[in-house]
Amino acid sequence: MTAPVGPPQAPPAQHAASAQQVAQSQQVVPANAVVSPPPAPYRAPAAPLPQPITGPVTRSTTTSARQRGGLSDMPPVPPRDPAEAVMANPQVPEHKRFCSKCGKPVGRPQAGRAGRVEGFCPYCRSRYWFTPSLSPGDLLSDRYEVLGAIAHGGLGWIYLANDKNFADDLTQRWVVIKGLINTSDEDAIEAAINERRFLVGIDHPNVVDIHDFVTAADPRSGQLQSYIVMEYIAGKSLRDIRDAVDENGERRPLPLEQVLTYTAELLPAFSYLHDRGLLFCDFKPDNVIHVETWLKLIDLGAVRHVDDMESAIYGTPGYSVPNDEILSVGPSVTSDLYTIGRSMAVLALDFKGFTSTYRDKLPPASEAPQFAEFGSFHRLLLRACHIEPRSRFQDADDMRTQVRGVLQEVQSVQRGEPRFEPSTLFTGEQSVFGEPDVEYDVHAVGDPFDVAHSLPTPMVDLADPMAAFLATQQATDVNGILAELNSAPQQTPEVQLRRVRTLVNAGELHQAAAVLDQFAQREGNTWQVTWMRGIISLLAADFATAAAHFDAVYSHLPGELAPRLALAACAELAGRADLALPHYTRIWTCDHRFVSAAYGRARLLDLEGNSTDAITTLHQVPKTSAQYGIAQTAAIQTALHSRTAPPSLLDLHHMAGRLDELKLEPRRRHLVSTRILHLALDTVARTGPAAEPPIFGARPEERELRLALERSYRDLAHACTRREDQVYYFDLANRHRPRTML
């Protein structure tokens, strides 16, 4: 006779723990359920829902964040023959003809006749022209020979010219000439030119070079016209690229990766201007040229000093901030970044009505499939184009950091490989939560304490005066750390945030919340404050409030993965696997350093019966990770209890080989080997012997498998330190060895 086969057993004390953990991992809690808080001291005061985050992201820009290498991921745009840019019959389109004085439509078609390109406004009798004032062959300042008009902008016609001072028989220096001001007052002309001289000093690889300023009389009106002379960029504007038709004759939005790459490439130019007290004011896709692998801002006509309260303000409807903001506070850094956000939307979306219905807002997600696929991109635009200036990005470098994060997410998803770089705002995971328990063969998310203390934490702002002091703290106990913080030379924001984190780590949540509230009153509701409120709510098992705080951080920093990991954990703890799984999946797709996300994804996939993808996820944990062995062991155990694809004897042979390669500590190895052998024995008992490769050296027939299982149980008993465990496993060894007749 032989002992019955069945699933591998654990000591009785382990059975209770295992059952409890399985129940925890499989329990589904309604979304509106009231979850009992854990025992004291981890009871926190009731936390308010998050307020809008308005503080800037205070981080010094790292060298890597400023690196530029051209648009290496984009197909190059070949230089354009300058002659091809000249318009054959330059006229302002009829639908864009308005009186420059009263603003009413003029030069429109009537009774089937084309509109007049010159004449007098019937409303105010002002003269108008809708053709260029300069003609091919005109020579400005005895130097610049006009070839013709190439475009019409907000300040008038733009011309292509040849700089005769640099021309020879072999080369020509092409320049662009653009009007600045039209007046008969020579003093006004001189003043306008002097005011624009600062543009010549702009020197940035993404900004067009300004060469000169010249004047010439308009041959039609006799008025003096001042012009700015710029380098000619022989590429295509982003507007031209967006409006290009495909092989089916249709205009389509640009790929999201391309739009984000463009934006990340341009933002350093805005940072450069803003650092010098300059505002671009009238950014739009028309004002950017893509040539070869570079982008250039080409229209500086609307650039102004940030403290300029006198000169005219230029903008383009659909791109510029609402008029009320311009009238009340004027142009600002945030209004510049707003125009970038609007331009991103125009380039990436099928954005109908962006100058009318959606002039000051974004289309709903139902009209933008990109928002459904990449919620981070939607949040990026929502922040950049927020109606409240204080809720927008406050700095071009900070915006670029988030743009790059969203770009790396898009690249990871579309290319099928992780592309994420380490964050400059958050640390990595402090530890891994939801680690599979190999001994109990259980995979659960863990408790709120484990999750809260495993999540990434905000990094210290190196620009804080006390950053060096915090880096040299020596105390390790709570009282010692607090004493050092109290004696800091300055009570800076980072010192106060460190105090909050120390209190949280000590379980003093009431005191931590009070200190955090005081900090928020002084410094504002920064994202660090909101993050810590989320941690406190999580420790109190108030998952809904914690998720609301983490969601606010995600909206503020849409290019970061840390808040999404926190959101996933909160959703899973609240029993909302449907909300947690997409976050875990996207995080793991982007960055294989977040092993908690891999475990979460595998855990929830297995729970819904998709053990195949769960195993694939566990196999993706890198060999360089300290979790590699645990992940591979968990993959084996997931396969062993798969309900949809039970392993074959050949699969079990391969599992045994992988287990041998992992070099686990003896107790853990023998636990898993007994489970593999149990399943092999059960399979053979049902189907009979098979001609398959051996499993741990045993041929797949009952007697050999029982001998191998007996040896494995005895080895497991020898690896145990507790007497009762040894007795238990020796008993199992005796039960499963082959019976013989004496």
Catalytic residues: 282
SS3 669: helix
Burial of 45 (0-12, 13-18, 19+ CB in 10 A): middle
Query: Is 155 within 8 Å of 312 (Cβ atoms)?
Result: no
List the one residue out of 387, 405, 458 whose CA is nearest residue 58.
Answer: 458
Q: How far apart are CA 491 and CA 195, in angstroms?
A: 44
Q: Beta 304-305 vs 174-183: how paired, if at all?
A: unpaired
Q: Beta 294-297 vs 156-163: how paired, if at all?
A: unpaired
User: Residue 475 CB: number of other CB atoms within 10 A?
Assistant: 13
List the one residue out of 542, 540, 545 whose CA is nearest residue 530.
Answer: 545
Residue matched to tokens 């707003």 = 338
**In angstroms, what CA-CA distances link 739 with 1, 703, 709, 736?**
6, 9, 13, 9
User: Residue 47 CB: number of other CB atoms within 10 A?
Assistant: 20
What are the phi and psi torsion angles at 8 (to 5°)? -65, 145
Nearest-10 Cα torsion for 96, 100, 104, 106? -60
Query: Is 189 within 8 Å of 181 (Cβ atoms)?
Result: yes
Residue matched to tokens 């009570």 = 491
User: Residue 737 CB: number of other CB atoms within 10 A?
Assistant: 18
222: Cβ contacts below 8 Å, ≥ 6 apart: 184
Contacts of residues 182-191 at CB distance under 8 Å and 24 or more positions apart, as own/partner, are: 182/156, 182/218, 182/221, 182/223, 182/224, 182/225, 183/223, 183/224, 184/222, 184/223, 184/224, 185/224, 186/224, 189/215, 189/224, 189/226
- Give ∠ CA 312-316-322 in degrees, rounded to 5: 85
What are the phi and psi torsion angles at 389 (to 5°)? -55, -35
DSSP states along 427-441: ---SS-SS--BTTTT
Q: How far apart are CA 209 and CA 603, in angstroms?
A: 56
Measured over the CA atoms of residue 237, residue 242, residue 247 and residue 249, the dihedral's sign is: negative
Q: How far apart are CA 16 and CA 24, in angstroms?
A: 12
Structure tokens at 529: 């404050």
One-letter identity of residue 489: P
Exposed e or buried b for every residue in 224-234, given b needs 16+ CB within 10 A?
bbbbbbbbbbb
SS3 207: strand
What are the phi and psi torsion angles at 449 (to 5°)? -60, -50
606: Cβ contacts below 8 Å, ≥ 6 apart: 443, 614, 638
SS3 160: strand
Measured over the CA atoms of residue 346, residue 347, residue 348 and residue 349, the dihedral's sign is: positive
Contacts of residues 252-255 at CB distance under 8 Å and 24 or more positions apart, as own/partner, are: 252/350, 253/347, 253/348, 253/349, 253/350, 253/351, 253/370, 254/347, 254/348
Edge-to-edge order in the sheet of strand 174-183: 139-140, 144-153, 156-163, 174-183, 224-231, 210-217
- Residues facing 152 on adjacent strands: 157
List the one residue out of 590, 657, 571, 644 whose CA is nearest residue 614.
Answer: 644
Q: How far apart are CA 422 and CA 720, in angstroms?
A: 41
Query: Is 700 within 8 Å of 694 (Cβ atoms)?
Result: yes
